Amino acid sequence: MKKGKILMTLAIVFFLTEVFNLLFIKNEYAKMFINDIGLVLLSFMVVAIWLLAYNLIDKRFGGERKVWIFLGIAFALRFLGELIWAFYEIFLKIEIPNLSIADIAWTLSYIFVLISFRYKMKYTYIENKKSVVYLMLAICTALAGVYLYLDFLNIVRNPAVINISENILNQSYVVFDIYIIGLILAINLPLIRGYNKVMKSCFVMAFAFISFGIFDYLYTVGVREGTYISGSFIDLFYYWAYLLAAYSVFLRYKLMNTITLSVPKENYHQDVKKPSKRRRK
């Protein structure tokens, strides 16, 4: 438990440092340096706490382990993206190009999040699950379609102003967010009445990805209109999303650690009985 508390405390410190940097640091290079290093450390805290939590999930719970494996890979890819971005800006001192390795890492992270939540949906009991899934897919597809259509109209009206490749990349993140948030709502909303400590972690993670989604949308609009600069207030959504993700995995680690400590190791598997070899008469 002590390791988890230390890592969570560090995550809060890095978050507050990012907020202080955003509000009070005026020097552009110093602000960029603190911002990039802070995001690397903040995203790493999520991965580190995730690793502690994952190691406490019993091997009997194969479905839960799958959910956490893919979620862990997703956050590891986010950490890799932040690391590459910081390397370009701090050490190479150049603006990272479109469709860079960092973008590949972030794109893959969205895919692994979708895979993780797909398994979460599979192993979670929800009444009329198929109907809920089909309804969610229909709504998300409709929203994504309308959003992309409106963006296409904007490109037609201002073809010389918009960087097409950059816009396609940024819009893909927003579309991923639409489906991720749809999956999150489909999983969590039917379970609100059964709220417990396990669900608390799930709800916090849901708000983390909603925050990522809000940032992606505002960032895309800002870049398209030429109003976004690093250190904008919309970056608070990004920092907040990482902090919520860290807190979510910390809650799960805390819960699993409590369960593990409350059951002696020698009795931890005694409730699993081997099937009888005798035939029924």
Q: What is the pLDDT of residues 55-70, one digit of tens each?
A: 888 788 788 889 999 9
Phi-psi region of 98 (alpha: psi -120 to 50; beta: other; left: phi over 0): beta
Confidence tier at 196 by pLDDT (50, 70, 90):
low
Helix-helix angle 28-54:235-262, to 10 degrees: 20
Is 245:206 a contact under the CB 8 Å cutoff?
no
pLDDT confidence of residue 260: 57
pLDDT confidence of residue 276: 41
- 251 CB-side CA count, 13 A: 16
CA 32 to each of CA 87, 89, 159: distance values in angstroms, whole numbers, following the listed order: 12, 8, 30
pLDDT confidence of residue 272: 41
Confidence tier at 207 by pLDDT (50, 70, 90):
very high
Surface-to-core class of residue 275, CB atoms within 10 Å of its CB (0-12 exposed, 13-18 middle, 19+ buried): exposed
Which long-range contacts does 141-145 make (Cβ < 8 Å, 24+ apart)? 143/178, 144/175, 144/178, 144/179
pLDDT confidence of residue 193: 67
CA–CA dist 271, 215 (Å, integer):
46
Question: What is this structure's pTM?
Answer: 0.87
Helix (H) / strand (E) element for 175: namely: helix 164-188
pLDDT confidence of residue 273: 43
pLDDT, average across residues 99-115:
93
Distance separating the N- and C-terminal Cα atoms of the chain? 50
Integer Rg of the chain from CA: 21
Range scoring the smallest mean pLDDT among 5-19, 201-215, 253-267: 253-267
CA 251 to each of CA 50, 202, 205: distance values in angstroms, whole numbers, following the listed order: 10, 9, 10
Question: 193-218 burial by CB neighbour count: b if 16+ within 10 A, else e?
Answer: eeeeeeeebbbbbbbbbbbbbbbbbb
